[in-house]
């Protein structure tokens, strides 16, 4: 299953809820304001880093750049993707859940 998160981690309960129900071997794709979870020195980023190693993390590159996040700050664990890869991820996981 691929989870898609589009809201800021600090301003709604969606980020916390999605992490709470994330299972092993699932994927998490950050899009739109969800990419703010990659801001360094935040509890959101720490929470992402603490996810089991089998959970794959992705972020939509255009949304990351558009919002002014520094590419150097993006953790190695996170794969930056474009829309074609976003589509590919959807086919790769058995279902897609948007938060």
Partner 1 sequence: MSSLLVISRHPPAAPAAREALDLALAAAAFGVPVGMLFLDAGVLQLLKGQEAALIKQKSLTANLQALSMFDVEDLFVCQHSLSERGLTPNQLLLPAKPVEGSEIASLLEHYDQVVTL
Partner 2 sequence: MKFAIALLAGPQDPAARSALNFAQAVLDGGHQINRLFFYRDAVHLASNLAVYPQDESDVANDWRDFITANKLDAVVCIAAALRRGVLNEAEAYRWERPGANSGKPWELSGLGQWVDAMQTADRAVTFGT
Q: Name which of residues 3 to 42 contact a second copy (CB under 8 A).
A: 10-13
Provide, rounded to whole angstroms, the least separation between the CB of residue 18 and a second copy.
14
Provide, rounded to whole angstroms, the least separation between the CB of residue 98 and a second copy.
17
Which of 22, 32, 42, 47 is close enough to bind partner 2 by CB under 8 A? 32
Provide, rounded to whole angstroms, the least separation between the CB of residue 13 and a second copy.
5
Among candidate residues 71, 87, 2, 3, the one with its CA nearest the CA of residue 38: 71
Q: What is the dihedral of CA 15, 20, 62, 67, to 10 degrees?
A: 30
Quick check: helix, strand or coil at residue 10?
coil
Element (H, E) at 87: helix 83-92
* Paired tokens of 6: 């589009």
Are the CB atoms for 30 and 52 separated by under 8 Å?
A: no
Of 58 and 63, which CB lies nearer to partner 2 in the complex structure? Answer: 63
The item of partner 2, a second copy, partner 1, none sharing an interface with residue 84, based on CB under 5 to 8 Å by kind, is partner 2
Confirm or reject binding of residue 97 to partner 1 (CB under 8 A): yes
> Using CB under 8 A as the criterion, which residues of the chain lie in contact with a second copy when the complex forms?
10-13
């Amino acid at each position: 299953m691929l989870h898609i998160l589009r809201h800021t981690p600090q301003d709604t309960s969606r980020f916390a809820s999605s992490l709470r129900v994330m299972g092993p071997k699932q994927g998490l794709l950050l899009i739109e304001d969800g990419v703010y979870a990659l801001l360094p020195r935040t509890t959101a980023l720490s929470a992402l880093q603490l996810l089991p190693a089998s959970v794959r993390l992705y972020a939509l590159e255009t949304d990351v750049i558009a919002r002014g996040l520094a590419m150097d700050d993006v953790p190695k664990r996170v794969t930056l993707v474009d829309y074609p890869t976003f589509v590919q991820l959807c086919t790769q996981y058995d279902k897609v859940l948007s938060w």
